[in-house]
Chains A and B, each alone.
Chain A
Amino acid sequence: MKRTITILLLTGGALLLTGLALAFLVAPTAVGQKGVEIFSQKIFYFHVPVSETSLLAFILGAVFGVLFLVKKSPKYDFLSLAAVEVGFVFGLLVEWTGIIWTRAEWGVWWTWEPRLTSFFILMLMYAGYFVLRSSINEESARARFSAVYSIVAAVNAPLTFFAIRLIPSVHPVVFDSSGAHMEPSMLAAFLVSMFGMLIFSTALILIRYQLQTAREELDYLKNEL
């Protein structure tokens, strides 16, 4: 386990740095519709991987939630918590990178743009998850309620994204049904970042999981004394 985590951390970190290097040194600067170079587009290589990873972590949290309810093993509760924690931290990074891009591109710190808004609601929903966890002392009830809520929250995420779409949007769309709209070197930089982010976040989830397990063991030993 420890070795796996170290390997994942190093691989993920190396890929992330390579991705960023590719983004700034190899990939051309994007050109907007008016033929002007847009340097602020560089954030795309970090912002998008981080947001996809955050959403995946939340989905993972729900999957472990289901597994907990089926198998009743505390192991899955810890895994679910670890995934939601990592998803939440990555979500904060999404908000932050989104905000600085908005500032550079549109001149404001915040606008109620659909995607920003839906992510904001998503973060509030998961903030509720942590409040819920901290307000239950009894372990088995805490695990059951958290699992149920993590499933409800993950199911609600796509619905929120759809609902917000009822109001027109101005977010740049890079991927649609016809494929990716960018040059090969840009796509390469993006994919390297994306994989780096996925591997790195897996390592983080495993670290949090280990920490939880160790905490549990410590409590048990304390009680023994």
Chain B
Amino acid sequence: MSAGRQIFAIIRKDIIAELRTKEMVVSMLLFILLIMVAFRSAFGELGDITEFAGGLLWIAFLFTSLLGLNRSFVHEKDEGCLEGLLLSPVDRPNIFLGKMIGNLIFLSIVELLAIPLYITLFNLSIKGSVPLFIAAVLLSDVGICAIGTLLSTISINTKLRDMLLPLIFLPVSSPLLIAAVVATNKIMSGATGPEFEPALDAIKLLAAYDIIFLLLAYALYDFVIGE
């Protein structure tokens, strides 16, 4: 079995399981909507939140991705599927890529539904370039899923289980959060010229973060997935 087929098989398995229950995407989306209501309660008096719209969006996405990342391994662990995966003739790093791409697909679907809702509910608009906005979001997602898949594999194998993930995932993903917020804020507010410089730097940083942690997680996954 080639690497591509191995990875695809794992993704396919996760997608089929999700299509049967639809629990992950639905609960993640509901969670984002609830966070938006909380935002409204917290910042409703301000009226216009254009200034930090990107920041709020990323708080919602980061916490939602925590939910999804935990789910993706709780299943495997509870049903004993993880042992099955380890016994199957799949290379360990390919398990990482399969799980990561699966997580990325679910997170992207949730965001695809959530972003238009967010823009409508809070009366916002993307004043800058929309393709660049999508690129920034996708780059951030890749980083979130790369480091998140590695760390959720670790946390699910500890006594604290899903309690531990936020404690290690949030600080490690902080560069990503900062860069994603800077980029989306600048693009949404339609900054130009020197005002826009930080956004480009942020996008470069996101790309660097993704490459570094994809390689690192790929290399280290063998050590966390089991003896």
Interface residues of B in 131-171 (CB under 8 A from A): 147, 150-151, 154-155, 157-160, 164, 167-168, 170-171
Chain B residues within an 8 Å CB radius of A163: 174-176, 178-179, 202, 205
Pick the interface stretch among B13-21, B63-71, B104-112, B216-224: B216-224
A136 within 8 A of B: yes
A141 within 8 A of B: yes
Chain B residues within an 8 Å CB radius of A152: 147, 150-151, 172, 213, 216, 220
Chain A residues within an 8 Å CB radius of B160: 131, 135
CB atoms of A121 and B209 under 8 A apart = no
Chain A residues within an 8 Å CB radius of B159: 135-137
CB atoms of B150 and A140 under 8 A apart = no
CB atoms of B179 and A147 under 8 A apart = no
A26 within 8 A of B: no
Give complex CA distance A128, B179 in Å.
22
Q: A131-B164, A163-B205 are in contact. Are A136 and B158 (CB under 8 A)?
A: yes
Given A121-B174, A125-B168, A149-B151, 17 new contacts (CB under 8 A): A125-B172, A127-B167, A128-B168, A136-B157, A144-B223, A145-B157, A147-B223, A148-B154, A148-B223, A152-B172, A152-B220, A155-B212, A155-B216, A163-B175, A163-B205, A166-B179, A167-B182
B201 within 8 A of A: yes
Interface set of A (CB-CB < 8 Å, partner B): 69, 121-122, 124-125, 127-129, 131-132, 135-137, 140-141, 144-145, 147-149, 151-153, 155-156, 159-160, 162-164, 166-167
B227 within 8 A of A: yes
Chain A residues within an 8 Å CB radius of B157: 136, 141, 145
* Minimal beta-carbon separation of A197 from chain B (angstroms): 25
CB atoms of B223 and A69 under 8 A apart = yes
6 shortest interchain CB distances as A-B pairs: A163-B175, A125-B171, A135-B158, A128-B168, A159-B175, A163-B178
B208 within 8 A of A: yes
CB atoms of B154 and A166 under 8 A apart = no
* Minimal beta-carbon separation of B165 from chain A (angstroms): 10
The size class of the interface chain B forms with chain A is: 20 to 34
* B175 to chain A: closest residue by CB: A163
* Minimal beta-carbon separation of A144 from chain B (angstroms): 5
CB atoms of B171 and A121 under 8 A apart = yes
Give complex CA distance A212, B193 in Å.
56
Chain B residues within an 8 Å CB radius of A131: 160, 164, 167-168
CB atoms of B224 and A148 under 8 A apart = yes
Give complex CA distance A166, B209 in Å.
15
CB atoms of A145 and B158 under 8 A apart = yes
Interface residues of B in 193-211 (CB under 8 A from A): 198, 201-202, 205, 208-209
Give complex CA distance A136, B205 in Å.
34
13 residue pairs A–B, Cβ–Cβ below 8 Å: A122-B171, A129-B168, A131-B167, A135-B159, A144-B224, A147-B223, A148-B150, A149-B168, A153-B172, A156-B175, A163-B179, A166-B179, A166-B198
CB atoms of A124 and B171 under 8 A apart = yes
Chain B residues within an 8 Å CB radius of A144: 223-224
* Minimal beta-carbon separation of B217 from chain A (angstroms): 8
* Minimal beta-carbon separation of B220 from chain A (angstroms): 5
Chain B residues within an 8 Å CB radius of A160: 174-175
Chain B residues within an 8 Å CB radius of A125: 168, 171-172, 174
Give complex CA distance A156, B171 in Å.
9
Give complex CA distance A214, B15 in Å.
50
* Minimal beta-carbon separation of B69 from chain A (angstroms): 15
Chain A residues within an 8 Å CB radius of B224: 144-145, 148
* B155 to chain A: closest residue by CB: A132
Chain B residues within an 8 Å CB radius of A132: 154-155, 158, 164, 167-168
Give complex CA distance A162, B205 in Å.
8
* Minimal beta-carbon separation of B167 from chain A (angstroms): 5
Give complex CA distance A152, B178 in Å.
18
Chain A residues within an 8 Å CB radius of B209: 159
